[in-house]
Structure 1
Amino acid sequence: MARIEEQDGQVLGAGVLLAPDRVLTAAHVVRPGLPYVVHFVGVPGVPGVAATVRADEHVPQREDAFGDRIGDLALLRLAQPQPAEHTTRLYRLASPHGPVSMYGFPAGDDGGRWHGATLVAARGRDHQVQLRPQTQGELAAPGFSGGGVVDHETDEVIGIVLSVDDGPNSVFSYMSPTETILSHLPQAAAWSEGAEAVDPTLRPGATGTAGRLDLPFATELASWFRGEGWPVLVTVVPARSGRAWTLTRAVTLADRELRTQQNTSAFSHDPPETVPPAGGHDLALDVRGMTDSQVMDRIAERLGIRGDPRPERLGALRVPLAAVLVGVDQAAEPDALLGLLERLAQQGARLLLVFRRRGGRAAQAAESFVRLPLHARWTRLHRELDHIVDELGPALDERRGRVAADPGTRQLLDRAEAGVRRTRMLLAWVAHSPEREREPRRADVLFTFEDAAERRRRRLEEAISLLDERLRRREELLGRVTAEWPLCRERAAARGGDRVMEAYRLYELALSLLRQSPCDVDEAETAVRHFVGFCSGTAPGREGTP
């Protein structure tokens, strides 16, 4: 818990003691060459320590070609090293999720304060992570910049706070996760723990082959790393081949820690469609000789799951797993591993399964992980569209023919009807589209259609439910009028005069409005109140006790 100040005592931000002589902070807190004072608030009796930052350990915040903020990291060097037992370590954690705590120094609180937050999602090409405060009073103020972020599940420091949204109504702050920090400051790897995402055998140079890009394969891989198409990609990559080099290139560029300015510059002239985004996977494993239990342990370690690495726990994670597994057919128990991977796929995991030989298990995996489930999803979509067009649409029409919509819900009903018309056109497209439109790489079309079908189905079900409520109200009113009439007629006859004719007129008016198609329930209910009020002897338009 380091508090960073100017020499005059002005608090600038927070930091994390990684080594006896190094404090990690945000670059906008400090500038190279200027003197600073660092106080360690968690260690009683330690005086402030002089510190400076060198230019080669200062990564200023800047915008990349897409306008995203990147960098904003620095290492302060202390003039007097601190005891090693006071240091902490950065921890690598894939797909951060769940509750965290961060320590900083809001204005007027030099002792510091813990704030709670929830990790929302990564943003931009630097993979900075949004933090949502647990309460309105826990928004990270500027004095939190550079402070450590502690994951509740693992009790590890998984990054540092960078900035807070601008403006009076700002909600989010942002964290640079460990692997992003290491991509900018690789020297900090000496003070880091946690499993690296990419096995050494899957890094550049490990294949022993020349770096010749397989353009179609690189494009296919980049698309998968971007989250496009079917979530499981099954491919065959011989161990020593151009495809193997293309695979290691893609895995490296898609990793937050390994994707550095140096290797992105080396591939800067490659076609952009072949370059995957940073953060495109959570881990890349060479599974040769590994059992399914060992693979599950590696996955759990990367996701911060401790003590209970069952596949079922992955289903509770807000961020789905994205994993590359190479040499699936060379695993210790290939069939058992495929069984585990099938369970993960059913929970929404994105999997890149690499086999070394064609046919056999590679063909089996392509069939069970891609072709069959993809075909089943298209078939299920077709049934859903049929259900909307042949059942829900007519059901809505039938009810609208019997009862008029409430003015407040008329727009919803009109949108539901329009959805049926659009679904009819979509159904024709699905029924007659060429087979190439249903390839795995075009599965995003399927997902879009599924989302549209679900929205339209829910809207129709809501509209039908609202009309059913009005129909039930109509039946209640009809029952009340018919039950009230005999007693009302007797009372009117006993009182003499024209009361029988007036009662009959009000009865007929209410009855005709209730039997009208479509029935305006609101108008009919008003007529029923007049009739019942007349029968009970109250003033017209007011309902008394029958």
Structure 2
Amino acid sequence: MTRTGERVGTARLRTPAWIARIETPDGRVLGAGVLLAPARVLTAGHVVRPGHHYTVRLVGVPGLGPVTATVRPDEHVPQREDTFGDRSGDLALLRLATPLPAEHTTRLHRLAAPHGPVSMYGFPHGDDGGRWHGATLVAARGRDSQVQLRPLTPGELAAPGFSGGGVVDHATDRVIGIVLSVDRGPGSAFSYMSPTETILSHLPQAAAWSDGAEAVDPRLRTGTGPAAGRLDVPFATELARWFRGEGWPVLVTVVPAAGDRAFTLQRAVTLADRELRTHRNTSAAGHDPPETVPPPGAHDLALEVGELTTAEVMDRIAARLGIRDDPRPERLGTLRLPLAAVLAGVDEAAEPDALLGLLDRLARQGARLLLAFRAPGERAARAAELLVHRPLRDRWARLHTELDRITEELGPALDTRRDRILPGPGTRPLLDRAEAGVRRTRMLRAWVAHTPDPERDPTAAALLFTFEDAVARRRRRLENAIGLLDARLRRRAELLGRVGAEWPLCRQRAAADGDRVITAYRLYEEALSLLRQTPCDMERAETAVERFVGFCSTTAPKEEGAW
């Protein structure tokens, strides 16, 4: 909301009061900005530079004049690119020489994994009044967790005049970041934004004008609580793999409240958070093995759940995901991107059994969960069985069923149909790929059958997911191929019925002319023979049927007008 209490979304039909147009002193438009405080405007770093003067206008507020602005070096974060081409930074806080009215300010809002539609406001060339463009948040990219924006239409790709403009999330009606840049070159399809938490990691002073639930519980941050210790490298490597999305999506582990494993978990959670990951702590982690360092933005929530009720846990999750009014767990299934959450002290929750039921539901809806228990025991074992081992066994069993279906049902069904009818024009490559998929599936089934207990190894889940995707593609190809041949077989049956029904009428009509009967019978026999031939060449058969039916519908010259 704005300071006046108006929802940002209700203002999308007009220019928002908080949008700033940033110009050179001679009036050339450089980009956009967001008025966070009476004397502070957030914008993209490439729009402004220290040591220069700029003009800021609130174009959505009639009667307000321009204000001079500058940026200090310590509040300017230039864009940088690492050796992999990933961009970072590109942020700045302008200081206004004359404060603007506080009622026109807005606030940044923290939001978890991006999903759904957004709008951005900027000033494309020739439109100094500005306009809204629609987009969809796609996914985070790079080590700075900048977020891709896919325009709703090609004409809504953000132009340079959108740089620094606010991005408004439709679900929450809040400003969740600012536009940074646009893909360059032909075929460009994306813009990029810096989300609020990434902005705060570079400009922590902007926290004074931000709200929304923080991702990481203060008790799980590096340097807090009793978790002093050394890095447990094997455990850190296991955690980093989970944060990278490798292996089974649910990791159940034991982490005491203090010691090396507790320190290692806090370090991973801190480094995987957009807001807490800074140059200082990543530089410190740079001395550790690289395989132990998680990517930024790899979780939506890290929560200490000891003594919390299930409803309180659900409320924390809903707050991070921007779910308002009705935070029921079933609503999480409607999100385009699944939840990724770290929950520590699960066995010390106020309602551990009820919490386990909630976690089971979230896992079934696609959530990635890292569950840390304080001590080994029955609860940890039950969680591992419910959320890891049993669903893993079920998935492998379904894979076996699909492998059998392809090799023993769909493959033979395709062979049977190819024996009965030839493929249509242009469809032979599809049928050949479907047949090749059956051969590869036989080899895969043999490999799985001779691999000892893959369903017992959660780290081998990546193989399972790869196999599932491959088998699903092969099944769809086979079903499509069988469907194409079935359609041709149905057409063949229709033509057989048509020829069978036409012949008695044709014979009766041509009975007075022996030559016509002979010709009709020859055409009838030719069409019938081609239709009954296996495999049937439908194109030749259809041509013969049309020739026969056409002859039968033509009246002999001497009988014209008699029928």
- Out of 510, 516, 521, the residue aligned to residue 504 of structure 1 is 521
1:297 aligns with 2:315: yes
What displacement does 1:183 show? 0.9
Residues in 1 aligned to 2:247 and 2:285: alpha-carbon distance in whole angstroms: 24
Aligned to 1:346: 364
Aligned partners of 1:91 and 1:65: how far apart in 2? 31
> TM-score if structure 1 supplies the norm length?
0.96
Inter-partner Cα distance in structure 1 for 2:518 and 2:289: 88
- The SS at the match of 2:525 is helix
What is the match of residue 431 of structure 2? Answer: 413
Q: Find the counterpart in structure 2 of residue 543 from structure 1.
A: none
After superposition, the C-alpha distances for 1:420-453 in whole angstroms (9 at most, x for unaligned) are 0000000111111122575111201100100111
Summarize the alignment of residues 19-38 of structure 1 with structure 2, pairs less than 5 Å apart: 19-38=37-56
Say whether residues 1:531 and 2:548 are aligned partners.
Answer: yes
Equivalence for 1:493: 511
Contact 1:207 1:244 in 2 (8 A): no
Contact kept in structure 2, 1:207 and 1:245, CA below 8 Å: no
1:394 is the counterpart of 2:412: yes
2:380 aligned residue:
362
- Aligned with 1:515 (options 501, 510, 532): 532
Q: Distance in 2 between matches of 1:205 and 1:122?
A: 27
Which residue of structure 1 aligns with residue 127 of structure 2?
Answer: 109
Q: 5 Å matches for 1:440-479?
A: 440-479=458-497
Query: 1:258: which partner in 2?
Result: 276
The counterpart of 2:347, out of the listed 311, 329, 346, is 329
Shift of 1:254: 0.4
Query: Partner of 1:542 in structure 2?
Result: none
Cα RMSD (Å) of the superposition?
Answer: 1.4
Q: Secondary structure at the match of 1:533?
A: helix
Q: 2:90 matched to 1:76?
A: no
State the match for 1:203 in structure 2.
221
C-alpha distance in structure 1 between counterparts of 2:456 and 2:140, whole Å:
30
> What CA distance in whole angstroms lies between the structure 1 residues aligned with 2:511 and 2:155?
72
- Alignment TM-score, normalising by the size of structure 2: 0.93
Distance 2:331 2:457 in 1: 31
Task: Choose 371-380 or 115-124, whichever is displaced more.
Answer: 115-124
Question: Shift in Å at residue 501 of structure 1?
Answer: 2.0
Q: 1:320 touches 1:348 (CA, 8 Å); kept in 2? A: yes
Please point out which of 256, 259, 269 is paired with 2:287: 269
**Structure 1 SS opposite 2:510:** helix
1:166 maps to: 184
Q: Deviations over 1:359-408 (max 9, x none)?
A: 11000000110000000000000000000000000000000001111121
Could you tell me the percent identity over the aligned residues?
78
1:484 to 479, 502, 510: 502
- Equivalents in 2 of 1:151, 1:467: separation in Å? 48
Contact 2:411/2:438, CA 8 A, preserved across alignment: yes
Distance 1:65 1:192 in 2: 32
Moved more, 501-510 or 80-89: 80-89
CA distance in 2, matches of 1:532, 1:110: 70
Match in the other structure for 2:141: 123
- CA distance in 1 between counterparts of 2:105 and 2:498 reads 79
How far off its partner does 1:47 sit?
A: 1.8
Provide the C-alpha distance between the structure 2 equivalents of 1:121 and 1:537, rounded to a whole number of angstroms.
66
Displacement after TM superposition at 1:51 (Å): 1.0
Aligned partners of 2:454 and 2:498: how far apart in 1? 61
Separation in structure 1 between the aligned mates of residue 196 and residue 555 of structure 2, nearest angstrom: 77
Q: Quote the offset at 1:324 in angstroms.
A: 0.3
1:70 positional shift: 1.0
Distance in 2, Cα, partners of 1:120 & 1:491: 69
Q: What is the identity, as a one-letter code, of the residue corresponding to 1:510?
A: A
Distance in 1 between residues matched to 2:460 and 2:322, nearest whole Å: 33
- One-letter amino acid of the structure 2 residue matched with residue 362 of structure 1: A
Hey, what's the Cα distance between the residues in 2 that align with 1:516 and 1:195?
71
Verify the 8 A CA contact 1:37 1:51 in the aligned structure 2.
Answer: yes
Helix, strand or coil for the counterpart of 2:539?
Answer: helix
How many residue pairs are counted as aligned between the two chains?
539
Distance 1:116 1:446 in 2: 38
Does the 8 A contact of 1:202 with 1:251 survive in 2?
yes
Q: How does 1:163-242 map to 2 (within 5 A)?
A: 163-242=181-260
Counterpart Cα distance in 1 of 2:251 and 2:323:
25
Is residue 2:70 matched to residue 1:52? Answer: yes
Q: Is the 8 A contact 1:140 1:164 kept in 2?
A: yes
SS at match of 2:478: helix
Rounded to whole Å, the distance in 2 between the matches of 1:436 and 1:536 is: 67
Specify the code of the residue in structure 2 equivalent to 1:236.
Answer: V
Q: Is the 8 A contact 1:506 1:527 kept in 2?
A: yes
Question: Which amino acid letter does the alignment assign opposite residue 470 of structure 2?
Answer: A
CA contact 2:227–2:257 (8 Å) conserved in 1: no
Q: Aligned partners of 1:485, 1:182: CA distance in 2, in Å?
A: 83
> What CA distance in whole angstroms lies between the structure 1 residues aligned with 2:137 and 2:283?
31
In structure 2, the partner of 1:146 is: 164
Distance 1:391 1:255 in 2: 48
1:295 partner SS: helix
Structure 1, unpaired ranges of 5+: 540-545
Q: Per-residue displacement from partner, 1:222-267 (whole Å, max 9, x unpaired)?
A: 0000011100000000101100000000000100000000000001
Residue 478 of structure 1 aligns to a residue whose secondary structure is: helix
Q: 2:31 aligns with which of 5, 8, 13?
A: 13
Aligned to 2:14: none
CA distance in 2, matches of 1:532, 1:78: 87
Deviations 1:8-36 (A, max 9, x none): 11110111111222111000000111111
Q: Which amino acid aligns with 1:503?
A: A
Deviation at 1:118? 1.7
Per the alignment, residue 10 of structure 2 pairs with none
Partner Cα distance (2:92, 2:280) in 1: 19
Distance in 1 between residues matched to 2:456 and 2:503, nearest whole Å: 64
Task: Indicate the SS of the match to 1:494.
Answer: coil
Does 38-47 or 222-231 show the bigger shift?
38-47
- SS of 1:29 mapped into structure 2: coil
* 1:150-179 deviations in Å (ceiling 9; x for gaps): 111111110001112213543321111000
- Distance, in Å, in 1 between the alignment partners of 2:399 and 2:158 is 45
Q: Distance in 2 between matches of 1:341 and 1:457?
A: 32
Alignment partners' CA distance in 1, 2:403 and 2:487: 25
The 4+ residue runs of structure 1 with deviation greater than 3 A are none
State the secondary structure of the residue aligned to 1:28.
coil
Q: Which moved more, 1:41-50 or 1:251-260?
A: 41-50
